[in-house]
Amino acid sequence: MKIWLDDKLVDKEQANVSVFDHGLLYGDGVFEGIRVYSSKIFELEAHLKRLWDSAKVIRLVIPMTYEQMKDALDQTVQANHIVNGYIRLVVTRGIGDLGLNPFLCKQACVIIIAAQIQLYPQELYEKGLKVVSVSTIRNHPMAIPPQVKSLNYLNNLLAKIESLDAGADEAIMYNHEGFVAEASGDNVFIVKNGVVYVPPIQAGSLEGITRQMVMRLAAKENLPVVEKNLTRFDLYVADEFFLTGTGAEVIGVVEIDKRIIGDGKPGPITKLLRKKFFEYAHS
């Protein structure tokens, strides 16, 4: 296996970072999860824009141009013979000292891993997920901006731990006002009376690339799509409920907090959008 580290490909065993890297010491850095379909990198421009935006917010200088990053991603995918797989692109603050000052780190570190991913077993795409509401709220926007896809993922991890302890497949997180934000690793959608609803980014969700694509696909199918604040009540009484994400793609939810969604199976609109997403991704 070959890993891109800083400016070249190295063997997996040689892909080492310093214990003084602030990505390790403080979770100081940004990342992207990107899919590869039919040997092509999916929605690359959107992913790179989000990476650069996240870096700008935390004042992290990415030591490569867009074109250099694209070339590095292509080389890593080809070196590992990835046809359908997953890329983890990480930019850490780089090597510094034990203090907090990020500007003492001389240069950011770039890491690219291209491998396989299987977030959920196939049977769950047929049967649907069981999820729970968790007490861990999404980061307050005046603390860590939820739109920054940072290496500091503890907020989401704590939510995931709650869901695992409850025996559920995923966690549903709410913001400080009680509105639905997102799942621990995916965006939330519901369907009610033929209308597709999704929480706005301002509610505390990441502006998911798959989220954006599914909204566009729904519009192409003449399905009304509305961004609005959703409450726990809205989730409980939804006709359909599904999650979207780079790893999950589109997957139905059939139960939340012991409340059955619809008839207890992924609904027709969920199935349609999953089908359309699959067709688009592999086209």
Residue 276 annotated as catalytic: no
The answer to whether residues 190 and 238 touch, using CB atoms and an 8 Å cutoff, is yes
Of 130, 149, 160, 276, the catalytic one is 149
Beta bridge partners of 171: 132
Helix residue ranges per DSSP H, the chain: 22-26, 44-57, 66-79, 122-127, 154-165, 209-220, 232-236, 268-282
198's enclosing H/E stretch is strand 195-198
Distance CA 261, CA 169 (A): 15
The answer to whether residues 38 and 84 touch, using CB atoms and an 8 Å cutoff, is yes
Extract the tokens encoding 227: 């961004």
For residue 127, how many other CB atoms are within 10 A of its CB? 14
Q: Which of 91, 197, 92, 205 is nearest to 141 (CA)?
A: 205
Letter for the amino acid at 78?
Q
**Residues annotated as catalytic (active site), given as ranges:** 149
